[in-house]
Structure 1
C-alpha cells in the first residue's frame, strides 16, 4: 500500500541545495534518521554515481534516488523533497526539482511508489502540481492519488 510506503512526515519542500551531493544527503536524511536504512545506503548512492554517473535522474525535474537492497536497507520506504531552485547532477544534465528517495528491502514492496512516480511524470499538469505544492500534505496527496 502506498500509505505504508510514503508518509506525510517524509514529504518536504526546500528552497535549495548547494550541489548534487547536498541533494543526495537531503533526500536520504529522513529515511536514514527514521531507521528505514543506514548511512550505508546513502554511501552506496554516491559510490554508484561515481561508477555510473547520475543514473537516478530519469527526466527533467526527477531524480529517483535509490541503491541496491543489499546496502543497509531495513524497511521499504519513500521520501519526497521538492526543491524551489533546481539542481543539476551533471553540467549538461536535466534541471531537477523533485527528489524521490526509494528504499526497498525486496523487489516488489515498492511497486506502488514506482507506479505513482510513473503516473505523475506521464502528465505534465501533475508534475506542475507537485512543483507548485506548498505543503507536505499536498505532496503526499498527489502521490496517493496517482496509484492505480
Structure 2
C-alpha cells in the first residue's frame, strides 16, 4: 500500500472485531483478547499481541490514554499486517501496572505503516473526549450498537471537516 493512502474510520472498524466481556484476569489477558479478532482476521500476527505485552512490561502503560480508555498498539514492524481496529468493552475495569487508571474500553489497533491510520485516530480521539459519548459506549449491549455509535461519530466528524473546508474556499 502506498503511504499516501488514508483509512477512513469506517474502513478500519468491523463489527466482528468488537467484543463485550464481563472481565479479564489481568491487563495482559485484556491486551491479548482485544487483539484476538485482528490476529484471527489476518490483520496482525500473534507476535504483535506478544510484543504489545512485552512493550508495556518494559516501558510502562503507554497504551492507557485516560481513565476508561486504552489504545492497544505497537510499531508496524512488530507484527502488523494490515491496518484495522478492534474494541474490547469490559464490564469490570482492568488496571494496568504502573497506571492509576482503570480501563473498560480497549481499542486495538494494527497499523501497517506509521501514517495511514492517523485520520481514523483523530475521529476516535474526538469521540473519546466527549464523556457522554464514552458513557453511552460503555452502556452498549451489543457489538452492533457500539459499531453504530462509533460510525455515527465518524460520519459527523467527516461532515464537520467538509464544512470547515467549504467555508475556507
Using the size of structure 1 for normalisation, the TM-score is: 0.94
Please list the CA deviations of residues 28-72 of structure 1 after superposition, one character each: whole Å capped at 9, or x if unmatched.
111001110101111110121121111000100001000000111
CA distance in 2: counterparts of 1:73 and 1:107, whole angstroms: 11
Q: Which residue of 2 aligns with 1:78?
A: 85
Q: Offset at 1:2?
A: 1.7
Report which of the two has the higher share of helix.
Answer: 2
Q: Which residue of 2 aligns with 1:18?
A: 25
Q: Which moved more, 1:114-123 or 1:129-138?
A: 114-123
Q: Which residue of 1 aligns with 2:105?
A: 98
Alignment of structure 1 residues 1-148 onto 2, 5 Å: 1-90=8-97, 93-147=100-154, 148=157
CA distance in 2: counterparts of 1:78 and 1:26, whole angstroms: 13
Q: Offset at 1:91?
A: 6.2
Given that residues 116 and 144 in structure 1 are in contact (C-alpha distance below 8 angstroms), is that contact kept between their aligned partners in structure 2?
A: no
Q: Offset at 1:92?
A: 5.0
* Structure of higher CA gyration radius: 2
Query: What stretches of structure 1 move > 6 A for 4+ residues in a row?
Result: none
Q: Offset at 1:111?
A: 2.1
Q: Offset at 1:145?
A: 1.8
Please list the CA deviations of residues 91-138 of structure 1 after superposition, one character each: whole Å capped at 9, or x if unmatched.
652010000001101122212331222111111100001100111111
Structure 2: any 5+ residue segments left out of the alignment? Answer: 1-7, 158-169
Structure 1: any 5+ residue segments left out of the alignment? Answer: none
Measured on the aligned residues, the alpha-carbon RMSD in Å equals: 1.2
CA distance in 1: counterparts of 2:13 and 2:109, whole angstroms: 10
Q: Which moved more, 1:58-67 or 1:138-147?
A: 138-147
